[in-house]
Amino acid sequence: MIWDNLIRWSFAQHPFIKEDIKQWNTEEIAIMESTLHRFLPLIRFYHISSIDFHSKVYPFKVILPKDLINEMLVFYLVPSKKLNVDIQLPRYPKYDTDLIKFKHFAIFSSWIEKESDSYYYKKNIPYQFNLIYRASKDGKTAKAFHKKCDNRGPTIVIIKIKGTEQIIGGYNPFSWDSSKSYKYTTDSFMFSFTDRKNTKTAEVSFSNGTYSIGCYPTHGPIFGGDFSCKDCATNWKFNNYFHSYPDINIPTGSIQVDDYEVFQVKKLKSNLNDKLKLFKKKSFLKSLFKK
């Protein structure tokens, strides 16, 4: 945790200051406060567990802003209360998925930007992926799918084929809805990982712009006239009649699946000031993690 390393570094800068905070005098408190102050923006306090906050952060309350301490206490003690603070995303987000790993989201991000598979990696993913539907949990019906996924903006659908390690799916740059119509775009895509444990088996296929996304209340996700699930249960079909997407390694005909998930895709806001701060403190961060 960066906080731990920052504290160790601060003590190393002032070896005459005892680690027992209760023994600090006014001058030592001022010294440590001044040392830490400029680096506090680097700490994602709201992603520190309540246990770590109590044992590792709260003991240093005499050198931290009072507003921060008060807001953190409210955050932990009254979780339902909405705080008027901008909570940064964790450096390494945790995704609620039973089907794939972190690395897959980096590849999806690259494809959304129409870049190569390895363009993004875990440290610079520019999107937030929020699970909004899991068939096994939310209901294996078209009605359940549309209730959870309609009008939620861009989404990515991830499907695990039964009895294999293959995952398939697609990206919809629009919102799902029940308009009984097709949407046309060259930004949507379908994908396949023959082996979900091996990202080198990844294949992607972008729509040619015809019948790209289908939105029908009687069906779940529809990609082209080719790939759809009518009952949203375990039976999907891939026919490739309309040829909306170039062929990739997706089995034709009826496909039995274990489960499927839908993630809302949100573009993260780029904060130039934060980037400049991190760039200026790059050498500092490296020194913190040196053994």
The pLDDT score that the predictor gives to residue 182 is 95
CA distance 31 to 13: 10
The pLDDT score that the predictor gives to residue 279 is 46
- For the ranges 251-255, 266-270, 271-275, the lowest mean pLDDT is seen at 271-275
CA distance 157 to 135: 11
The whole-number average pLDDT for the span 178-196 is 96
pLDDT in tens, 1-29: 689 999 999 999 999 999 999 999 999 99
The pLDDT score that the predictor gives to residue 271 is 44
pLDDT in tens, 101-134: 889 999 999 999 999 998 988 777 889 898 999 9
Report the share of the chain in percent with pLDDT over 70.
83
Q: Is residue 250 a contact partner of residue 238, using CB atoms and an 8 Å limit? A: yes
Report the share of the chain in percent with pLDDT over 90.
53
Helix (H) or strand (E) holding 278: helix 272-280
The pLDDT score that the predictor gives to residue 75 is 81
Tokens of 222: 């529809």
- For the ranges 88-97, 120-129, 242-251, the lowest mean pLDDT is seen at 88-97
The pLDDT score that the predictor gives to residue 30 is 94
Would you list the domain boundaries of the chain?
A: 2-83, 102-267
| Distance (Å) of CA 257 to CA 16, 99, 178, 236, 272 | 64, 12, 24, 7, 43
249 against 103, higher pLDDT? 103
